[in-house]
Chain A
Amino acid sequence: MLFVCLLTNVAFAQQDAKATFKNNVFLELLGNGGYASFNYERIIFSHKKITIFPSIGISTFKTKDFTGTVNPDVIIPLGLRMYYGSRHMFVFGLGQTISSTVYLNPEDFEAKRSYKLSANVMLGYRINFKRINLQLAYTPIFENYNHYINWLGFSVGYKF
């Protein structure tokens, strides 16, 4: 619900007119999406050196299951990220990852889906060029809220 509010800019009215590019798409290796994810983020608040982006991504580990049927794993990382800085930025983010992955149920040997909600955190550094940005972050995952995984993420983004 909080997310919807953020996305629709209801919570934040103040915008910084200096923010030229409001959107950023980025490919993240490892990170909150698992192995690799394609993500979109949009500025919803910008004031002085603080910028806030909500982000949404999509990722998969494989598109076919063990029977050879198209049955992809789906991982959707959602996050709210706060950046501090201009060209060199520090990032702190919190979010949730929704995952639906395929496994074999040993009871009947059929393909089944496992749905999980996991927490993700992001703490890192971003450097901005004119349209390109690079980011390296510590992105631990609290899988299913019962298993902590140390994880890193590296991303390349394009602003527009």
Chain B
Amino acid sequence: MKRCFFLIAISVFACISSCKKTNESFDIQNMENKVIVLGHGGSGDLNFYPINTYESLLNCINSGADGSEWDIQMTKDSVLVAYHDETLETQTTGKGRIIDYTWSELQEFKYNPAPYVRYDIVSVDSLFAHVSNLKSLTFSFDNKLYFEPSSYPAFISAVIKVLEKYGMEQNVFIESHSAGFLIQFKQLKDYKFFLNPDNFDDGLKIIDSMNIYGIIMDVANISAAQIQEAHSHGKYVQVWGTSGSGDNTDAVKMNPDAIQTDDIASLVNLLK
């Protein structure tokens, strides 16, 4: 009886192994006929490391991604940091908004995703200063404007300063939900701006009229036909919200120009 179970187990294992999906080949048809693989906040929500930490971002880069999306905010003394939420208490040992602290004060707070571990809040400058192959990477700054519009000029100035310091102007996408913010930014620099609109049709009209580089949307809210339409207007398309091999496969088939994923390994594996 035991031998019978053993043989069945071996057979099932062999079947699963032989049935394992092999890499698909995709006929990528987008603006540059390639898909840029970006992590979501580094290694994504499904990874142990909290998104936007040094560990998450470096783990993403070391996993073979082309780069990563980050959530960018600004401190009281105009230092750009990566942090997703509006307030610190939701993810760290701190309280309040990023904009209410100086960089020096902010370094006291740590991410605490589980007992026994603590991770630092990231400054854009320090990460750029330490990544050896920086110029070969692509980043997408999701600008979290959790402060008054009167602070937009200081924020824009901080972004320009850090991108110019590291020569990363062409390697960083600038995302925002706010068309007003992008217009204000575009008056100073013509970077690769991406609007994150509520719906595709309105978004396409805005980026057409503003001569914006592209559009970024949740993959669940955009179709392959709409991506093709954006491409026919000469616009780049980023999608986000993929969290598994199936999601990534479906997203690649839609021919976006970049995918921000929570499952980097599967997307890298699909496209290599």
Interface residues of A (CB under 8 A from B): 34-35, 61-62, 65-68, 73, 75, 97, 99, 101, 103-104, 106, 109, 114, 116, 118, 141, 143, 147, 149, 151
**Chain A-chain B contacts (Cβ-Cβ < 8 Å), number:** 60
User: Shortest Cβ distance from A37 into chain B, in angstroms?
Assistant: 11
- Cα A149 to Cα B112 with chains together (Å): 10
Please name 5 further chain A to chain B contacts, defined as beta carbons within 8 Å, in addition to the given A65-B55, A99-B116, A141-B115, sorted by A numbering.
A61-B48, A66-B59, A68-B63, A104-B55, A147-B93
| CB within 8 Å for A106 and B116 given contacts A67-B58, A68-B63 | no
- For chain B residues 70-118, which have a beta carbon within 8 Å of chain A? 93, 112, 114-118
Residues of A within 8 A of B49 (CB): 66
Most buried by B among A66, A101, A116, A149: A66
Total interface residues on B, CB under 8 Å, equals 20
- For chain B residues 111-134, which have a beta carbon within 8 Å of chain A? 112, 114-120, 126, 130
Q: Decide if B116 touches A35 in the complex (CB within 8 Å).
A: no
Interface string of B24-65 (1 = CB under 8 A from A): 000000000000000000000000110000111011001100
Q: Decide if B126 touches A106 in the complex (CB within 8 Å).
A: yes
Q: Decide if A34 touches B55 in the complex (CB within 8 Å).
A: no
Nearest to B49 among chain A residues (CB) is: A66
Nearest to A116 among chain B residues (CB) is: B116
Nearest to A74 among chain B residues (CB) is: B116
